[in-house]
């Protein structure tokens, strides 16, 4: 019986405690960010920078430029010929290009590129513009 009474008493006290906690939470969330928040953010950034191995950093801007150039050259030589990339180069209408890329992005979620190519081609033949898709039943 004593346990039951104790649980009833603690249950009755909860609303007041919750009200006080809610009031404190509101007042703290309404407060402007303090300098402590700025220090915490700075500390997080320092930790992130410290966690990156110097091996992965470029010490010279010329190294970054050379790496970027080599990477882009490699891409130009090795990239796959994909229908949405061709349309993006050939299509003058930026809305149609954006629609084509959007369709490919949606289809490529959780699906292999080889599987998407055929579906993408058929989709774009059936609904070449967003308006065509919108008017489909």
Average pLDDT, the chain: 78
- What are the structural domain ranges in the chain? 1-50, 81-135
> Is the whole model's pTM more than 0.85, yes or no?
no
Q: Which residues of 105-130 are buried (b: 16+ CB within 10 A; e: fewer)?
A: eebeeeeeeeebbeebeebbeebeee
Among 8-12, 67-71, 127-131, the minimum mean pLDDT is found in 8-12
Give yes or no for a contact between 86 and 124, defined as CB atoms under 8 angstroms apart.
no
Place of tokens 């920078």: 49
57 to each of 13, 67, 69, 113, how far by Cα in Å? 57, 12, 17, 32
* Residues acting as catalytic residues: 105
User: Rounded to a whole number, what is the distance in angstroms from the first to the last CA of the chain?
Assistant: 67
Give yes or no for a contact between 64 and 58, defined as CB atoms under 8 angstroms apart.
yes
79-124 confidence digits (pLDDT tens): 998 998 887 678 888 888 899 999 999 999 999 999 999 999 999 9
DSSP, collapsed to helix, strand or coil, labels residue 6 as helix
């Amino acid at each position: 019986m004593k346990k039951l009474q104790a649980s009833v008493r603690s249950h009755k006290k909860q609303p007041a405690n919750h009200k006080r906690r809610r009031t404190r939470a509101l007042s703290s969330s309404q407060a402007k960010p303090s300098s402590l928040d700025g220090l915490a953010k700075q500390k997080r950034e320092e930790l992130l920078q410290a966690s990156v191995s110097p091996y992965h950093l470029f010490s010279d801007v010329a190294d970054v430029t050379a790496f970027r150039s080599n990477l882009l050259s490699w891409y130009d030589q090795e990239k796959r010929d994909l229908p949405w990339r061709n349309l993006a180069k050939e299509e003058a209408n930026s809305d149609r290009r954006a629609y084509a890329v959007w369709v490919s992005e949606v289809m490529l979620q959780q699906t292999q590129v080889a599987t998407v190519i055929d579906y993408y081609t058929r989709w774009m033949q059936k609904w070449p513009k967003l308006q065509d898709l919108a008017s489909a039943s």
